[in-house]
């Protein structure tokens, strides 16, 4: 009997209790976290980034016309699509929050046997095999179901713990029974990507570098007429603001290429060399655009004999 009591006391000491009420921020963060661990979420995120970049380039090209009337309506539609996809997690979180509010306060006990949830209107026990993966964020523990879409989600806010030490105890229990779905959360695991992952990442890096190179060349070429007054005398359209925006968009593309391979030694070195070459093109464009930037709000510019640019508004 003494041994049985000791075993029971040991289990009780290793359990962790939480008391909380879900917020919209909790649920929105959990939805975004789930999206980062599923293929569908990854596709949506890349589609959103691709649409945003294409839209930004389209707006840049359209500004070379005579006015906003030259901007295709499809660009505004694409921008609305990106905005909608960005706020979708928040909208979903609000819907889930309405359901959660009906349950009232949550009281949760986590131990070696599973998770027991109790609310004002319901109670239940979740075995570990139902949620074999989890992700830790600064505010939450998000448990994910085994299916590819991770339809099932359990959200455990850290603020519901009774003491800061319980966060480590809860993490230890989860690590014993579950697998971390986020690679960055497991520093001791092997982060070496598979061949397929390396190929996909390499293709993404090449795409980002090419995007940066295209934007830098565009910035350089957009002010070509204004920098050649002998060949093209007279007033020229002031494309310096467009070129400056292209430069601003190109820098994150190049930096993102290096960031994607920052933990891969060989690709990191190769990418750094290529990124430096692309940034040199950007530097040349900036050197050409810089003297024109004081005419930012002007419609026309012209270069004088001394090399300075005069600004004109019509």
pLDDT of 300: 83
pTM over 0.85: no
Looking at residue 152, what is its pLDDT? 86
Give the CA count within 13 Å in the CB-facing half-sphere of 38: 19
Q: For position 159, what pLDDT does the model report?
A: 92
Model pLDDT, residue 12: 45
Please list the rounded mean pLDDT of every run of 10 residues in the chain (314 residues).
44 76 91 85 78 71 53 71 84 89 90 90 88 91 86 90 90 92 49 64 83 86 76 74 83 83 78 87 86 81 79 76
| Terminal Cα distance for the chain, rounded | 96
pLDDT in the model for residue 296: 78
Q: Are 261 and 205 in contact (CB under 8 A)?
A: yes
Q: How far apart are CA 31 and CA 52, in angstroms?
A: 21
pLDDT given for residue 36 in this prediction: 83
Rounded to whole angstroms, the Cα distance separating 55 from 141 reads 36
Per-residue confidence (pLDDT) for residue 143, from 0 to 100: 93
What is the CA 57 to chain-centroid distance, rounded?
Answer: 20
**d(C-alpha 72, C-alpha 94), whole Å:** 34
Q: What angle do CA 208, 211, 212 make, to 5 degrees?
A: 90
pLDDT at position 274 is: 85
DSSP per-residue letters across the chain: -HHHHHHHHHHHHT-EEEEE---HHHHHHHHHHHHHHSHHHHHHHHHHHHHHHHHHHHHHHHTTSSSGGGS-HHHHHHHHHHHHHHHHHHHHHHHHHHHHHHH-SEEEEEETTEEEEE-SS-EEEE-GGG--EEEE-SSEEEEE-SSTT---EEEEEGGGBSSTHHHHHHHHHHHHH-EES-GGG-TTS--PPPHHHHHHHHHHHHHHHHHHHHHHHHHHHHTTTTT-TTTS-S-EE--HHHHHHHHHHHHHHHHHHHHHTTT-HHHHHHHHHHHHHHHHHHHHHHHHHGGGGGGTT-SEEEE-TTS-EEEE--
């Amino acid at each position: 009997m003494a041994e049985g009591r000791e075993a029971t006391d040991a289990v009780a000491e290793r359990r962790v209790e939480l008391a909380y009420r879900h917020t919209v921020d909790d649920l929105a963060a959990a939805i975004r976290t789930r999206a980062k661990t599923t293929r569908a979420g990854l596709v949506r995120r890349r589609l959103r980034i691709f649409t945003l970049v294409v839209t930004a380039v389209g707006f840049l090209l359209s500004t070379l016309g005579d006015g906003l009337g030259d901007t295709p309506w499809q660009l505004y539609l694409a921008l609305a699509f990106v905005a909608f996809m960005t706020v979708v997690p928040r909208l979903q979180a609000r819907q889930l929050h309405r359901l959660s509010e009906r349950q009232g306060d949550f009281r949760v006990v986590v131990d070696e046997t599973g998770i027991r949830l109790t609310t004002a209107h319901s109670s239940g026990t979740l075995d570990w095999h139902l949620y074999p993966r989890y992700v830790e964020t600064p505010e939450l523990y998000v448990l994910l179901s085994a299916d590819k879409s991770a339809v099932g989600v359990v959200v455990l806010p850290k603020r519901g713990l009774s003491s800061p030490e319980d966060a480590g105890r809860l993490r230890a229990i989860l690590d014993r029974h579950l697998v971390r779905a986020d690679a960055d959360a497991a520093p001791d695991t092997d982060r070496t990507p598979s061949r397929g992952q390396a190929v996909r990442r390499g293709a993404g890096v090449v795409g980002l570098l090419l995007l940066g190179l295209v934007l830098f060349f565009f910035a350089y070429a957009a002010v070509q007429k204004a920098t050649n007054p002998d060949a093209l005398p007279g007033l020229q359209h002031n494309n310096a603001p467009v070129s400056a925006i292209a430069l601003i968009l190109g820098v994150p593309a190049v930096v993102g290429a290096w960031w994607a391979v920052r933990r891969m030694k060989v690709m990191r070195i190769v990418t750094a060399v290529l990124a430096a070459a692309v940034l040199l093109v950007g530097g040349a464009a900036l050197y050409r655009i810089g003297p024109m930037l004081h005419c930012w709000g002007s419609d026309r510019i012209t270069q004088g004999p001394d090399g300075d640019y005069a600004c004109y508004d019509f």
